[in-house]
A and B are shown apart, each in its own frame.
Chain A
Amino acid sequence: DTEVTQTPKHLVMGMTNKKSLKCEQHMGHRAMYWYKQKAKKPPELMFVYSYEKLSINESVPSRFSPECPNSSLLNLHLHALQPEDSALYLCASSHSGGPSTDTQYFGPGTRLTVL
């Protein structure tokens, strides 16, 4: 089973709201990722957690705050977003975040709209 689940599927929020995106995997993977994907563009890496520790933060604005409560869960907390943050937010996981053949498996994404 190579399933990564994400909730909610769709989210509409105002610029003053606080919301969270959730991601879960039960494959025993120890690396988890957040990506942002705009229409007709490839995914852009935002954050990487390796063994529950933040290892990469790709200069993402502080209005995005990741959290990894345990090895199976990954959250992305959203606050004071801008309309240009509207996008598909993808979660991915991989076995260990080590070897280069460590395939990343993606979830279905959360479609975020900021009004």
Chain B
Amino acid sequence: QQQVKQSPQSLIVQKGGISIINCAYENTAFDYFPWYQQFPGKGPALLIAIRPDVSEKKEGRFTISFNKSAKQFSLHIMDSQPGDSATYFCAAQTGANNLFFGTGTRLTVIP
């Protein structure tokens, strides 16, 4: 049973465009939502995270939008760059030991 659903599976965006990745969950016990960025052959790196009492969080070109009532959250990458090409995992957490990953989105930014 997939605790966190993520879409799309892959995404191709032109340089300078906006990349949008969506995630949804059912378990209302989740109370921390990190996003990880993973380059090939590397470990996942924390990109940005949000708590459900906040509807939006922005760090540079990366923004998380959170809709608690719909149990959905999304990552927006503004002005996408080729260096952003990676796999992105949304995740949801209840207690630090219980981290549930989405299935991942492979982003390709073409020049």
User: Would you call B73 an interface residue if the criterion is a C-beta within 8 Å of the partner chain's C-beta atoms?
Assistant: no
**Given the complex, which residues of B lie within 8 Å of A56, measured CB to CB?**
97
Q: Contact at A105–B46, with CB atoms within 8 Å?
A: yes
**A72 to B3 alpha-carbon distance, docked (Å):** 31
- Of B55-63, B64-72, B74-82, B99-107, the one contacting chain A is B99-107
When A94-B96, A97-B96, A104-B96 are in contact, do A42 and B104 touch as well, CB less than 8 Å? yes
Q: Contact at B99–A45, with CB atoms within 8 Å?
A: yes
Q: Contact at A106–B44, with CB atoms within 8 Å?
A: yes
Query: Contact size class for A?
Result: 20 to 34
List A residues 68-95 near B (Cβ within 8 Å).
Answer: 88, 90, 92, 94-95
25 contacts between A and B (CB under 8 A): A42-B101, A42-B102, A43-B44, A43-B101, A45-B99, A56-B97, A88-B41, A95-B96, A96-B96, A97-B96, A99-B95, A100-B31, A100-B93, A101-B32, A101-B49, A101-B51, A101-B93, A102-B96, A104-B34, A104-B46, A104-B99, A106-B36, A106-B43, A108-B42, A108-B43
Which DSSP category, helix, strand, loop or mixed, fits chain B's interface?
loop
> Quick one: closest A residue to B51, CB to CB?
A101
**Given the complex, which residues of A lie within 8 Å of B99, measured CB to CB?**
45, 104
Residues of A bordering B, CB below 8 Å: 2, 4, 6, 31, 33, 40-43, 45, 48, 50, 55-56, 88, 90, 92, 94-109, 111
Query: Contact size class for B?
Result: 20 to 34
Residues of B bordering A, CB below 8 Å: 31-32, 34, 36, 41-46, 49, 51, 89, 93-99, 101-104, 106
> Quick one: closest B residue to A39, CB to CB?
B40
When A100-B93, A100-B95 are in contact, do A111 and B44 touch as well, CB less than 8 Å? no
Contacts A92-B43, A100-B98 known; 15 new A-B pairs at CB < 8 A: A33-B97, A40-B106, A41-B103, A43-B101, A45-B99, A56-B97, A95-B96, A97-B96, A99-B95, A100-B95, A101-B31, A101-B49, A101-B93, A104-B46, A104-B99
